[in-house]
Amino acid sequence: MPPASSMQHASETPIELAAVLGGTQSTQRSVDLKLLTGVAVLIVAVVLPFVLHTFFIFQMTMVLIYAIAIIGLNLLTGFNGQFSLGHAAFYAIGAYTAAIMMDKGDISYVWTLPVSAAICFVFGFLFGLPALRLEGIYLALATFALSIATPQILKFSLFEHWTGGVQGLVITKPDPPAGLPLTQDQWLYFFTLIVTFLLFAVAQNLIRTRTGRAMMAIRDNPLAARSMGINTPLYKALTFGVSALYTGVAGALGAIVLQFVAPDSFTISLSVALVVGLVVGGVGWLPGAFFGAAFILFVPNVAEHFSKGLSGATYGLMLVVLMLVMPGGCAGLLRLLRTLRNAASSANNG
């Protein structure tokens, strides 16, 4: 008796069978391409700190940190449909948690990450509960208020003993583990790279699970999701908490790398920058976070290089041009290139 797969193929026409085989080969090529791209990116990421100057190593570390925050924002906005202009507040909570633990408690920087993550998750979850009644621009306005209030709270005299008030806190740059022939900047780069890889892998797996599908169902049609038995309020609040967790870890790493925290570093400008990074990288596409992070770190410097007096206007013009050319961000550009490649391949085969 022939195997089931053979019987299935026997019932198909030659054209259908060719289409199935062609689709399987195309899927396999796509998987191989993604695997090769991932390995190439990993090799480049490992080699970079040995060929770059110290300042560029610092900049690449900041790109990874911003990428973590944008991944968190992408989970909230790109995969759950909730809009936030308040993620600078969660970034500040993570940064101050790490700074206070290191400065006041003399605790190792490694332990600041899980503590910052837990505190930010709780804050995000609790903030997400009342925000359940708000959607769209009204939710954006509520998170905007959170972003505006946070620097003022950090300067409040009642918390000055812990936060340092307007002056902020200065912390010591950690040394690499004994025996590793790395400088402090190289070690912080690799430490941040490991954390980024872990959080990226967790986010990728999260959106492929039942939880991720529920998040996207709520984004696409909340009423239909509720009718299918999905606990919409719980998933929304949890997504807010997870998004805040990612941003808090980014904030803690930012404090460790910069060795300094101050209230005016976490204004609404940071929240807007994270949203810009999200849109430039592509809403709903996690790898785009790295492109978006590079954009918000390097492009303002490029704009200032063109015109120091009109750097803001130049940056805005570059952003407008980019959105006209790539309305879907880097994700949209890749989709367009993939469509053109498939069209060219079909034309050649035809």
Of the ranges 26-30, 85-89, 244-248, which one carries the lowest mean pLDDT score? Answer: 26-30
Count CB-CB contacts under 10 A for residue 6. Answer: 10
Per-residue burial over 28-56, b = 16 or more CB atoms within 10 Å of its CB, e = otherwise: eeeeeeeeeeeeeeeeebeeebeebeeee
Residue showing tokens 């990116």: 41
Q: What is the pLDDT of residue 349?
A: 67
Q: What three-state secondary structure class fits 261?
A: strand
Rg (CA), the chain: 23
Mean pLDDT of the chain: 85
Q: Tell me, what's the pLDDT at 19?
A: 53
136: pLDDT strictly greater than 80: no
Q: Is residue 60 a contact partner of residue 186, using CB atoms and an 8 Å limit?
A: no
pTM, rounded to two decimals? 0.86
Rounded Cα–Cα distance for residues 115 and 4 (Å): 53
In this predicted model, what pLDDT tens digit does every residue of 242-281 receive, in sequence order? 999 999 999 999 999 999 999 988 888 999 999 999 999 9
* Residues in CB range of 177: below 8 A, 6 or more apart: 187
CA-based nearest residue to 86, from 42, 43, 127: 127
